[in-house]
Amino acid sequence: MPPGVSRSGELGELLRGESYLADEGLVTAIFLALKLGRPLFLEGEAGVGKTEVAKVLSRILDTPLIRLQCYEGIDVFQAVYEWDYARQLLHIRAAEAFGEEDRAHVERDLYDREFLVSRPLLQALEHRGPMPPVLLIDEVDRSDDEFEAYLLEILSDFAVTIPELGTIAAERPPVAVLTSNRTREVHDALKRRCLYHYIEHPGFEREVEIVKLRVPEAEEELARQVAAATENMRSMDLYKPPGVAETLDWTEALVALGARELDEKLVEATLGSVLKYREDQQRAKAAGLSALVGGVRSAGGDA
């Protein structure tokens, strides 16, 4: 737990101080994960700020962030450890060159700690420092069932057994944050090991606050227009609806162009900052950018 934090509200203020505006449900989930020492499982659409939670926690706790990016086919050797076969081969050749005759001794040396390459999960377990690290296991839904089962084992005991070296356990469990874009359902067993929270797209007013917090150079009117336009786009049944990350990208692009308010021409010129698929851009244009901008003004005016 960060120093001086004994209630979830105090944690929420710390998150805001790091430019992360979380709703009460998310702040409570993070607080409980820290308080109870449980992994935090965050699910939601891409771009809603799941990964950012781990980055902000790393800054608040003043501890390293160790990231494992999951993908299809990832296995223990990419996630935990692997032996450095090239160095082992060099060791064998050096032993032969210097006339080492004790073959058993040479083979034992091959599996010494110096030939072990630590990957993110092992790095998190072996971390030594005043605070445990933040371990981000990102997009776990991209990995396959076998790796998910292995994660379940790691998160149960925060220990890993390497046959040649024995069991390595964390002195203190890392602050574990798992994320999923829900491209597939993650098994219940893994979720049961964690505290779960689903991050929704923010409402209009909160998204305006986020834009103002993260892009302070943006004019108030522009921030409201961008938030409202993004909200409208999310109702268009797009292949990839824009998340908060795209809202911020778009705002930064508009600020870089010196924009103070949206108009149809600006929306068309910067559409690639918020919609990253050609089909989605075509759908937005087919719906009418003027209607989109008109909706922006209406939403901004109502707020």
Q: What is the pLDDT of residue 301?
A: 46
Q: What is the dihedral of CA 109, 113, 115, 119, to 10 degrees?
A: 160
Distinct helix (H) and strand (E) counts, the chain: 15, 9
How many beta carbons lie within 10 A of that of residue 56, not counting itself? 22
Decide: helix, strand or coil at residue 198: strand
Please give the Cα distance from 93 to 70 (Å, whole number).
36
Q: What is the pLDDT of residue 295?
A: 59
Q: What is the pLDDT of residue 101?
A: 64
Can you give the pLDDT of all 303 residues of the chain as single tens digits? 888 888 999 999 999 999 999 999 999 999 999 999 999 999 999 889 999 999 999 999 999 999 999 999 999 889 999 998 898 888 888 877 877 667 777 777 788 888 899 999 999 999 988 899 999 999 999 999 889 988 988 888 899 988 888 999 999 999 999 999 988 889 899 999 999 999 999 999 999 999 999 999 999 999 999 999 999 899 888 999 999 999 999 999 999 999 998 888 899 999 999 999 999 999 888 887 776 676 555 544 443
Q: What is the pLDDT of residue 302?
A: 43
Residue type, 33: A
How many beta carbons lie within 10 A of that of residue 263, not counting itself? 15
The answer to whether the beta carbons of residues 148 and 186 sit under 8 Å apart is yes
Q: How do the residues of the chain divide into helix, strand and coil, expressed in percent and rounded to 5?
A: 55, 15, 35
Residue type, 206: R
The answer to whether the beta carbons of residues 78 and 151 sit under 8 Å apart is no
* pTM of structure: 0.85
Structure tokens at 184: 């597939």
Please give the Cα distance from 188 to 204 (Å, whole number).
33
CA-closest candidate to residue 259, choices 301, 300, 225, 303: 225
Strand-pair partners of 168: 160
Residues 6+ apart with CB under 8 A from 147: 70, 74, 75, 76, 79
